[in-house]
């Protein structure tokens, strides 16, 4: 793995919090396994099996990363640290789209094509969490049943868990584990447009937007911002009676893209028709991705973007840690509740409440 894909040094050191010991021997043992409630978490064993390509142990490793318990968090970070040298060697592709664009259908057809070519494909499928219960359906393995059975593919559905951008907080770390397991193509399916697509753009190499036909109406409602983030626009469901209209939509997008800021320097965003049902256009999409990578590597932007993403990831984790540490301070939740009542009773201003909270 290249240095720009590594976790920042401070983060790498922090993962050892709580497991170090005054005796070197005990510290070494702690790095290899963690004991939680009378059970041992065999971190080194899981790491070794992931490196061998075990999908079962990859799933276990991701579960550790996504866990909210303190012991699992420490074990998950140590697992990630052990596998970092084997990560970073993939093409990371983010896929978003308007509702009904057929993201899961496209990903299954595209993933099957790549897997049949000998690639190892990992799909990180994100399902929206309920704002009421926090639960999610996690039905992507059902929607991608054929791809899920392919020996060269791995599908991991995860809930957004309240994270903006339609991704899970641990999606970046999950990608690294998948890469360590030998997956050379990572497909990140987001919840959909309308949230914070910049979060997805900030963790992938190539960003793809799926749209439907009828560009005349859609161009009016499509956000300029999301289009300026995309490296490729795929007009999906280009088959049957819809084929002629799909080709017209492609032409309209190509005309529009000339007036927009490109998402990546030296690259002109493409637009092309695809039918996942007829399996047409999939090969051309992959050729576009490969051409994109070649262009970005030629102008030295490939590594530069990943370095920038690592720094942004580091800063966002600082923000998350500050918020968590603030609300875990004794009495803070109660104080927030008291100030909220005062706000609703017009006893204090919002700025005044915040000032009191931080005093």
Look at the chain and report how many structural domains it folds into. 3
Give me the CATH number covering residue 175: 3.40.50.300
Q: What is the pLDDT of residue 303?
A: 94
The mean predicted confidence, pLDDT, of the chain is 82
| pTM of the model as a whole | 0.80
* Res 107: pLDDT: 95
Q: Are residues 96 and 233 in the same domain?
A: yes
| pLDDT 10s digits, 50-75 | 999 999 999 999 999 988 888 998 99
Q: What average pLDDT does the segment 19-26 reach?
A: 39
pLDDT for residue 115: 97
Domain end residue (candidates: 299, 314, 335):
299
**Does residue 151 sit in the same domain as residue 244?**
yes
Give whole-number Cα distances, 10 to 36, 66, 299, 306, in Å: 25, 21, 30, 18
Looking at the fold, whether 194 and 283 belong to one and the same domain comes out as: yes
Q: Let me know whether 212 and 64 are in one domain.
A: no
Burial 17-55 (b: 16+ CB within 10 A, else e): eebeeeeeeeeeebbebbeeeeeebbbeebbebbbebeb
Q: Which domain does 345 fall in, by range? A: 306-358
Please tell me the number of Cα atoms within 13 Å of 12 on its side-chain side. 12
22-29 own/partner pairs: CB under 8 Å, 24+ apart? none
Choosing from 261, 281, 299, the residue where a domain stops is 299
Contacts of 22 (CB under 8 A, 6+ apart): none
Q: Can you give the CATH number for the domain in which 331 is found? A: 1.10.287
Same domain, 123 and 215: yes
The domain boundary residue, chosen from 299, 320, 350: 299
For residues 100 and 71, state if they share a domain. Answer: no
Alpha helix positions (H), 67-101: 70-83
What is the mean pLDDT of the segment spanning 138-165?
74
Residue 163 binned pLDDT confidence (cut-offs 50, 70, 90):
very low
The answer to whether residues 228 and 127 belong to one domain is yes
Backbone angles phi and psi of 235, in degrees to 5: -85, 105
Residue 121 is classified by DSSP as E
Strand, coil or helix: 157 = strand
Q: Are residues 216 and 336 in the same domain?
A: no
Same domain, 129 and 276: yes
From the list 245, 120, 173, the residue with the least C-alpha distance to 12 is 173
Whether 135 and 252 map to the same domain: the answer is yes
Instruction: Please list the alpha-helical segments (H only) found in 126-214.
Output: 140-143, 145-149, 171-180, 197-201
Instruction: Indicate the burial class of 347 (C-beta count within 10 angstroms; 0-12, 13-18, 19 or more).
Output: exposed
């Amino acid at each position: 793995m290249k240095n720009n894909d590594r976790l920042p040094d401070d983060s790498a050191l922090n993962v050892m919090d709580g497991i170090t010991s005054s005796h070197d021997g005990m510290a070494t043992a702690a790095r290899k396994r963690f004991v939680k409630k009378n059970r041992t978490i065999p971190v080194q064993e899981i790491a070794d099996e992931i490196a061998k390509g075990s999908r079962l142990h990859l799933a276990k490793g991701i579960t550790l990363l996504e866990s909210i318990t303190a012991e699992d968090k420490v074990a998950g970070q140590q697992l990630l640290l052990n596998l970092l040298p084997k990560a970073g060697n993939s093409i990371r592709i983010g896929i978003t789209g308007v509702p009904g664009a057929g993201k899961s259908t496209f990903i299954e057809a595209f993933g099957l094509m790549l897997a049949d070519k000998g690639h190892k494909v990992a799909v990180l499928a994100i399902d929206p969490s309920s704002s009421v219960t926090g639960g999610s359906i996690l039905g992507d393995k059902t929607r991608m049943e054929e791809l899920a059975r392919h020996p060269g593919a791995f599908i991991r559905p995860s809930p957004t868990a309240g994270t903006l951008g339609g991704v899970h907080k641990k999606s970046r770390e999950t990608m690294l584990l998948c890469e360590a397991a030998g997956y050379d193509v990572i497909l990140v399916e987001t919840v959909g447009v309308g949230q914070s697509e910049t979060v997805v753009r900030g963790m992938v190499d190539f960003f793809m937007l799926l749209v439907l036909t009828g560009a005349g109406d859609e161009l009016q409602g499509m956000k300029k911002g999301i289009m300026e983030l995309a490296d490729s626009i795929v007009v999906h469901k280009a088959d049957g009676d819809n084929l002629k209209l799909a080709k017209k939509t492609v032409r309209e997008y190509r005309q529009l893209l000339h007036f927009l800021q490109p998402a990546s320097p030296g690259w002109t965003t493409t637009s092309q028709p695809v039918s996942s049902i007829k399996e047409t256009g999939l090969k051309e999409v992959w050729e576009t991705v490969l051409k994109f990578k070649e262009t970005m590597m030629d102008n030295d932007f490939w590594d530069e973007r990943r370095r920038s993403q690592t720094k942004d990831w580091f800063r966002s984790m600082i923000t998350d840690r500050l918020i968590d540490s603030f609300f875990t301070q004794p009495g803070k939740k109660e104080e927030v509740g008291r100030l909220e009542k005062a706000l609703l009773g017009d006893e204090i201003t919002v700025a005044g409440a915040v000032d009191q909270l931080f005093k």
